[in-house]
């Protein structure tokens, strides 16, 4: 077993915030959020999403970080320390979290692989390798497999470097680049013809869309976006020093994640209307917005092609931005099983990162080779069923299993006055009653 002293730690508070925000900010923000907004009545969805982050996701984020820091380990180890009188539950639920993390990573790497391909395409075109450029953007098994493996190798390489030298260092480098690229892209897009129509769709609420489905979508999106359920935040919490104020850092991470999601909408939705202005179709025959996958991989590239000489540069910047967002998330997902192999089996970080990373890469390849049957299925199993189910388990652990005084003691370490504030008066009840009931409701509506 790894001792506490030999476990990695984030070297600074800002390093942790960048890593956790890096985990949270991913394809869910730059791709999922904007398209859900566009499909669900613009700002009506944004308002519901904000409510869900505040009511459901933020309390769960604090819960997961707290379990991780208290338990000083991956989901199995941490649960065992909290749930002392039950031998089996920690293993069963911890293993479920590892499985969910592995499944999420297996499809996430495929999508991220496409993004790598689309980032490389303008470069291939620029050097006259037209055959390669076409291969990169056309859907094919060899392209999917090679690009997925390429992205998997990047993820494994960062994770194998460790907590401070790999995850923290790369998140702290990549996240500011992401913010700057984002800001530059937004300014550029908003200056293009047609952008204001998109801005109107994004920011003017259409409350006629407000229904059960919108609420469910907003909850699911908030849950996925804050990387909840599968143990990423728990493991990151376990690398946090004890003098850190958990609710405060959770607030900062949630604010960054939500701001980036909002900024992504400011970029993508006006970009769609710029594309429309340039003659690219963004609505299908039924007048509905083209679906999210096609949006990123067809609408936006067509828009870049209409932009003259600056188009290829903008395209590379855009897709590099997406790859960065995906990489800082994928490392947080691979870290879950890797931390478990280290804590539970005493494996070295190098060995566990490569072994588990490659095993998950093999799973990705299997999905690529059986794409029609497996891709959607794996996404559904991991995000629609397993993630919320695990969320319920963590809420029950914090709200019902864990002794209130011990919970308070853990939170007091970084915030001695917490017992007197409003947070401690509300949060334990929230996690005990509201969160499990709300998640069950989401699952019920989304499955039925
Ligand atoms: N939060 C990431 C996103 O929005 O793309 C996805 C994610 C990362 C989900 C880590 C789950 C996880 F454990």
Per-residue pLDDT of the chain (448 residues; tens, 9 = 90+): 444 445 788 988 999 999 999 999 999 998 889 878 877 878 889 999 999 999 899 999 999 999 999 999 899 999 999 999 899 999 999 999 999 999 999 999 999 999 999 999 999 999 999 999 999 999 999 999 999 999 999 999 999 999 988 899 999 988 898 888 889 889 988 998 999 999 998 898 888 888 777 888 888 889 899 999 999 999 999 999 999 999 999 999 999 999 999 999 998 889 888 888 888 888 777 777 766 666 778 777 877 887 788 889 989 988 998 899 999 999 999 999 999 999 999 999 999 999 999 999 999 999 999 999 999 999 989 988 898 889 999 999 999 999 999 999 999 999 999 999 999 999 999 999 999 998 888 777 766 6
Cα four-point dihedral sign 349, 355, 358, 360 = negative
Question: What is residue 75's three-state secondary structure?
Answer: helix
- Distance (Å, rounded) from C-alpha 21 to C-alpha 29? 11
Residue nearest to atom 7 of ligand 1 (CA): 227
Total number of residues shown for the chain: 448
Q: How far is the CA of 24 from the centre of ligand 1 (A)?
A: 5
Phi, psi of 289 (to 5 degrees): -65, 140
Ligand 1, CB within 6 Å, residue ranges: 23-24, 26-29, 101, 104, 224-225, 227, 230, 232, 329, 332-333
Residue nearest to atom 11 of ligand 1 (CA): 227
Nearest to 441 by CA among 282, 213, 229: 213
- Distance (Å, rounded) from C-alpha 62 to C-alpha 269? 31
Alpha carbon separation from 26 to 134, 370, 441 (Å, rounded):
26, 25, 26
| Structure letter (DSSP) for residue 138 | S
Burial class (CB in 10 A: 0-12, 13-18, 19+), 322: buried
Q: How far is the CA of 277 from the centre of ligand 1 (A)?
A: 33
Of 20, 26, 175, 178, best ligand 1 pocket probe by most atoms within 8 Å of the beta carbon: 26
Residue in the block written with tokens 């055959």: 131
Residue in the block written with tokens 């001792």: 3
Q: What contacts 118, CB < 8 A, 6 or more positions away?
A: 136, 137, 297, 301, 315, 319
Q: How far is the CA of 84 from the centre of ligand 1 (A)?
A: 29
Element counts in the chain: helices (H) and strands (E): 23, 0
Q: How far is the CA of 411 from the centre of ligand 1 (A)?
A: 25
Q: How far is the CA of 101 from the centre of ligand 1 (A)?
A: 9
Which atom number of ligand 1 is nearest to the Cα of residue 29?
4
- What is the fold of 13-447? Amino acid/polyamine transporter I (1.20.1740)
Residue nearest to atom 9 of ligand 1 (CA): 227
Of 232, 234, 322, 337, best ligand 1 pocket probe by most atoms within 8 Å of the beta carbon: 232
The whole-model pTM stands at 0.93
Q: How far is the CA of 111 from the centre of ligand 1 (A)?
A: 13
- Residue-level pLDDT at 418: 95
Q: How far is the CA of 227 from the centre of ligand 1 (A)?
A: 4
Sketch the domain layout of the chain as residue ranges: 13-447
- Residue-level pLDDT at 1: 46
Of 100, 222, 224, best ligand 1 pocket probe by most atoms within 8 Å of the beta carbon: 224
- Residue-level pLDDT at 240: 93
- Distance (Å, rounded) from C-alpha 220 to C-alpha 241? 30
Query: Bridge-partner residues for 315, per DSSP?
Result: none
Cα four-point dihedral sign 118, 124, 126, 130 = negative
Which atom number of ligand 1 is nearest to the Cα of residue 226?
1
Is residue 336 within 8 Å of 159, Cβ to Cβ?
Answer: no
Residue nearest to atom 10 of ligand 1 (CA): 227
- Residue-level pLDDT at 448: 66
Q: What is the dihedral of CA 396, 400, 404, 410, to 10 degrees?
A: -20
Which atom number of ligand 1 is nearest to the Cα of residue 326?
5
Nearest to 126 by CA among 300, 305, 310, 312: 312
Q: How far is the CA of 299 from the centre of ligand 1 (A)?
A: 24
| Structure letter (DSSP) for residue 419 | G
Helix axes 89-126, 130-137, angle to 10 degrees: 150
Q: How far is the CA of 58 from the centre of ligand 1 (A)?
A: 14
- Distance (Å, rounded) from C-alpha 223 to C-alpha 425? 23
Residue nearest to atom 8 of ligand 1 (CA): 227
| Structure letter (DSSP) for residue 304 | H
Nearest to 271 by CA among 25, 27, 26, 31: 31
Q: How far is the CA of 23 from the centre of ligand 1 (A)?
A: 6
| Cβ count near 33 (within 10 Å) | 28
Which structure tokens are listed for 330? 């994928």
Q: How far is the CA of 105 from the centre of ligand 1 (A)?
A: 9
């Amino acid at each position: 077993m790894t001792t506490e002293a030999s476990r990695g730690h984030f070297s600074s508070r800002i390093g942790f915030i960048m890593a956790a925000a890096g985990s949270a900010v991913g394809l869910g923000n730059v791709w999922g959020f904007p398209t859900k907004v566009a499909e669900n009545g613009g700002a009506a969805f944004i308002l519901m999403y904000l409510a869900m982050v505040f009511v459901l996701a933020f309390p769960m984020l604090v819960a997961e970080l707290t379990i991780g820091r208290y338990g000083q380990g991956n989901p199995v180890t941490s649960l065992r320390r909290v749930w002392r009188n039950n031998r089996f539950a920690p293993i069963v639920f911890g293993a479920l979290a590892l499985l969910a993390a592995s499944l999420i990573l297996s499809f996430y790497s495929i999508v991220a692989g496409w993004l790598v391909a689309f980032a490389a395409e303008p470069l291939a075109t620029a050097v006259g390798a037209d055959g390669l450029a076409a291969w990169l953007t056309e859907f094919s098994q060899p392209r999917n497999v090679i690009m997925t493996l390429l992205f998997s190798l990047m993820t494994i390489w960062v994770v194998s470097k460790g907590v401070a030298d790999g995850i923290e260092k790369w998140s702290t480098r990549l996240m500011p680049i992401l913010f700057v690229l984002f800001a530059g892209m937004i300014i550029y897009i908003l200056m293009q013809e047609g952008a204001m129509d998109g801005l109107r769709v994004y920011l003017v609420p259409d409350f006629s869309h407000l229904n059960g489905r919108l609420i469910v979508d907003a909850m699911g999106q908030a849950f996925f976006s804050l990387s909840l359920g599968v143990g990423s935040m728990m493991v990151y919490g376990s690398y946090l020093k004890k003098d850190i104020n958990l609710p405060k850092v959770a607030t900062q991470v949630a604010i960054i994640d939500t701001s980036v999601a909002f900024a992504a909408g400011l970029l993508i939705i006006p970009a769609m209307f710029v594309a429309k202005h340039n003659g690219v179709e963004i609505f299908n025959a039924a007048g509905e917005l083209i679906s999210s996958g096609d949006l990123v991989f067809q609408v936006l590239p067509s828009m870049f092609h209409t932009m003259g000489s600056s188009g290829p540069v903008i395209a590379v910047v855009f897709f590099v931005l997406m790859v960065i967002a995906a990489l800082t998330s994928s490392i947080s997902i691979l870290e879950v099983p890797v931390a478990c192999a280290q804590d539970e089996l005493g494996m070295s970080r190098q060995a566990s990162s490569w072994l588990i990373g490659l095993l998950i890469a093999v799973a990705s390849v299997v999905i690529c080779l059986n794409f029609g049957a497996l891709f959607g299925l794996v996404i559904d199993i991991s995000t629609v069923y397993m993630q919320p189910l695990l969320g319920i388990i963590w809420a029950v652990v914090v709200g019902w299993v864990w002794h209130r005084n011990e919970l308070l003691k853990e939170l007091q370490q970084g915030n001695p006055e917490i017992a007197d504030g409003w947070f401690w008066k509300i949060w334990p009840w929230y996690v005990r009653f509201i969160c499990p009931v709300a998640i069950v409701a989401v699952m019920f509506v989304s499955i039925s």
